[in-house]
Amino acid sequence: MRRLLRDLFYGALHAARCTGWARHRRGLHVPVLFYHGVSAERVGGVMNCEKKHVYAGDFEKHLSFLKRFYNPVPLSEYAAALRSGVPMRPHSVVVTFDDGYENNYRAAFPLLKKYGVPATLYLATEFVESGEMLWFDRLACAFAATKAQRFESPVESGSWPLRGEAEMTACYLRTKKRLKALPDARRREILDKICRELLGAQRPDAPALFAPLKKEQIREMVRSGLIDIGSHSLGHPILTAVSAQEARAEIAESKKRASGLSGLEAQSFSYPNGAYSAELMRLVEEAGYDSAVAVGLRVNPPAGVSPYAIDRVALAEGDTTAVIASTLCGIREKFIAG
């Protein structure tokens, strides 16, 4: 019901041409889109309850809209404009991906080539190098595969039923939120305990949805001239929750590894979970990056944006044309809770 009301609201704004007016008025604002994965099939359940992996048909709808009404540009071009103070072309837009899932190559890359849309892929380099699932994907797999009927949480006192998909999804999201707030080492420790509780000795294989890119796939995309590679840290810790020494290592070492994977120097950084601070901005610049992206859920204005704190917005699976238009022109950020 909430989504239906949201779609009706933005549909009315779009029909009244409010989105076209806002797009014209805010022509020098730059929306930077962020995605995680693109799936050739619709995926539901616990594994994709947050719709991080967008159905390819919907992703193509997004790209078609961008090509019709906006000017897709590489992030490097936008970063250079921020550093020089020269305004971007009207209606510029940037596309980015976080983490480094293989479906960026299999499902997203063919569509990016079809529409001629450049993109920056930010790699969590330990994920790509080791093939080990990211911690939140491992947690989702544990809930999806468990035969347990209840969950005794080691993160907080309490017990929750797991009698169906809705209860499993709610428990996964609750647990993920609490794990996210823990220091990285403590999170790993608790995650191991949760997986043992839910699965026992079982260790399910990583599904294709959560597989990482391969080095040869990364290099093929870079050779196309459409794809730039940036860093998303080594192991995806929330950098505001680790020491300055750990953050410096994550930022600097992942730059070297991302560069080694792509064959070209990684010039941009993506803050894990979008969390950053003035100190982290300084560390990113110190490491030799020329830009960094966060998740401010707003369209970037033509002035006053640091190249080390570029905001991003998201489009989701199932978004209507009106929601897409409202997001890109900046109207939706005023009502982001919807």
What is the domain partition of the chain in residue ranges? 27-131+211-317, 135-199
Q: Write the single-letter amino acid at 8.
A: L
pLDDT tens digits for 94-143? 999 999 999 999 999 999 999 999 999 999 999 999 999 999 999 999 99
Q: Per-residue pLDDT for 338 more than 60? A: no
* Mean pLDDT for the stretch of residues 276-285: 97
pLDDT tens digits for 217-241? 999 999 999 999 999 999 999 999 8
Q: Per-residue pLDDT for 35 more than 90? A: yes
User: Pick from 52, 144, 143: which is nearest to 99 by CA?
Assistant: 52
Question: Which tokens is 214 given?
Answer: 């391969």
d(CA 284, CA 236): 15
Q: CB-based burial of residue 298 (10 Å sphere; 0-12 exposed, 13-18 middle, 19+ buried)?
A: middle
Q: pTM for the full model?
A: 0.95
Fold topology of 27-131+211-317: TIM Barrel (3.20.20)
Packed helices 2-15 and 321-329: angle between N→C axes, nearest 10 degrees: 70
Q: Per-residue pLDDT for 1 more than 80? A: no
Helix/strand/coil (H/E/C) assignment for every residue in the chain: CHHHHHHHHHHHHHHCCHHHHHHHHCCCCECEEEECEEECCCCCCHHHCCCCEEEHHHHHHHHHHHHHHCEECCHHHHHHHHHHCCCCCCCEEEEEEEECECHHHHHHHHHHHHHCCCEEEEECHHHHHHCCCCHHHHHHHHHHHCCCCEEECCCCCCEEECCCHHHHHHHHHHHHHHHHCCCHHHHHHHHHHHHHHHHCCCCCCCCHHHCECCHHHHHHHHHCCCEEEEECCCCCCCHHHCCHHHHHHHHHHHHHHHHHHHCCCCCEEECHHHCCCHHHHHHHHHCCCCEEECCCCCCECCCCCCCCCECCECCCCCCCHHHHHHHHHCCHHHHCCC
Share above pLDDT 90 across residues of the chain, in percent, rounded to a whole number: 86
What's the confidence (pLDDT) of residue 184?
Answer: 82
The distance of Cα 120 from the centroid of its chain, to the nearest Å, equals: 11
Share above pLDDT 70 across residues of the chain, in percent, rounded to a whole number: 99
Q: Provide the Cα torsion 107, 256, 242, 309; round to 10°.
A: -70
Q: Per-residue pLDDT for 336 more than 70? A: no
pLDDT tens digits for 197-216? 999 887 767 799 999 999 99
* Mean pLDDT for the stretch of residues 173-196: 91
